[in-house]
Chain A
């Protein structure tokens, strides 16, 4: 199964817009997230890494981590998931 097929299968069971379980705040409707990707052995930033972010079911962003970092401001509340389609699952872990 290709990475694309696997991502589609994993996202198939996700509702279109699940309730915001992270910050249910009406006053502040804009949020942010940051991504940092480093090598496990020396903790230096990975030059580039493709990723795809889904907000609920729909794809929200597909971009590239540059020099280990990616940041987006003013994002609406929601339940976000991220995939790295070029990286095998055994080769990436959360810190």
Chain B
């Protein structure tokens, strides 16, 4: 049995394929893994995955006949849903294309899916052309040094000026996707990754500090009507909420 330390972009499908398995369940069903990872979709970077030894089986091979075998595999799917910031609406899409490796999918409904990707690939590309992008609305003025409002303040070099990067009709928008890099929402990095994905400026790290608290407070101001001044703004405070908003 081998121990594999998971790195960014790892999932059970990827680890299983790299180790020569066709079905991630062959790895995940190892007793130690089921205990360590209650959810196979949630691997934290640096976790240890137990990879069982392959077991060999001998088959009799009859003469003067065709012997047929079936290999049981688990396909790895990639599904992308394009929506507005409130997650409830789909923007008008003139063209959308998802590319990973040699596989592509194109659709204009807002959902793109490729049902059999190579799980060892960790980079994908999403290209979108909007038919009628929403008009740019300038954020309300923010007091200098107070960064707990939404939208968050634009701080060079973290952001481009939204007025200059706001999508225009017919403009092609390209996102480079880091497939499988999202960590579980139950760990600090996982929450901070989701915050960053949703547009809240924060460092993606394993410890909480002033910048992470600032990002948490900004997020809470966005999703909650009231935030008490003496709240801790700990990552744990928004774990469930951000999982529902980001993942579901």
Contacts and interface: CB of A to CB of B under 8 A. Distances in A.
Interface of A: 1-3, 6-7, 10-11, 22-23, 31-41, 43, 46, 49, 53, 75, 77-95
A65 to B, nearest CB: 9
Contacts of A39: 70-71, 73
A36 B69 contact: yes
Question: Top 7 closest A-B pairs, CB basis?
Answer: A95-B68, A89-B57, A80-B61, A6-B56, A34-B66, A31-B63, A40-B70
Contacts of A85: 56
Interface in B47-68: 53-68
A53 B70 contact: no
Given A85-B56, A88-B21, A88-B26, A23 B69 contact: no
Interface of B: 20-23, 26, 53-73, 75
Given A38-B71, A40-B73, A41-B75, A92 B64 contact: no
Given A33-B64, A39-B70, A91 B59 contact: no
A41 B162 CA distance: 47
Contact of B72 (A6, A77, A91): A91
B62 to A, nearest CB: 6
B55 A93 contact: no
Contacts of A49: 71
B74 to A, nearest CB: 9
23 contacts: A22-B64, A23-B63, A31-B63, A32-B64, A33-B64, A33-B67, A35-B66, A36-B69, A37-B68, A38-B70, A43-B70, A77-B63, A81-B58, A82-B60, A85-B56, A87-B54, A87-B71, A88-B54, A89-B54, A89-B57, A92-B72, A94-B59, A95-B70
